[in-house]
Amino acid sequence: MTNKPFWKKKELSQFSTVEWESICTHCGQCCLIKLQDENSEDVFYTDIICRYHDCKTHLCKEYQNRSRLVPACLKLTPENLGKIRWIPDLCAYNILYKTGDLPSWHPLISGQPLPNKYKISSHVISELDVPEEELENHIIEEDSND
Ligand code: SF4
């Protein structure tokens, strides 16, 4: 009899819906608006966050409808995990995919809420408050998954 947690016992494709959803820490990193250079295809993170992100609860206000409301909001699946260039380094799905385990700070391991340092900064701005022509002024980081 093994006491291994489900994420170490099963393939990602074998996770139940509840197990899959429990991997998300609601860090909000994937909800930051990203810009892509048309020529190089490099992806740049900004400090602007999706209009549907609730910065108090760190949850999406339209989680069930997100794909319809924001077609660019990609739903992570076991199949597409390794193919998404812009997935944040600290995304728990990304870490699990790459290492086969979750980090010590993940709530499923620590039993504690996600530490603030792994959540998006409280200084992010809603996309509702930023005119499109100013988006480039909010670039904070180029993706590092190349
Ligand atoms: S970056 Fe990953 S862990 Fe963080 S909210 Fe997005 S899907 Fe969840």
pLDDT-based confidence at residue 1 (cuts at 50, 70, 90): low
Two tokens, residue 7: 């994420």
Pocket of ligand 1 contains residue 50 by CB under 6 Å:
no
Summary mean pLDDT of the chain:
91
Name 107's Cβ contacts closer than 8 Å, sequence gap at least 6.
25, 113, 114
Residue scoring higher pLDDT (1 or 7):
7
Q: What is the pTM of this model?
A: 0.88
Pocket of ligand 1 contains residue 124 by CB under 6 Å:
no
In the predicted structure, residue 126 carries a pLDDT above the cut 70: yes
**CA separation for the pair 119, 25 (Å, rounded):** 9
Task: Quote the pLDDT of residue 143.
Answer: 59
54 Cα–ligand 1 center, Å: 14
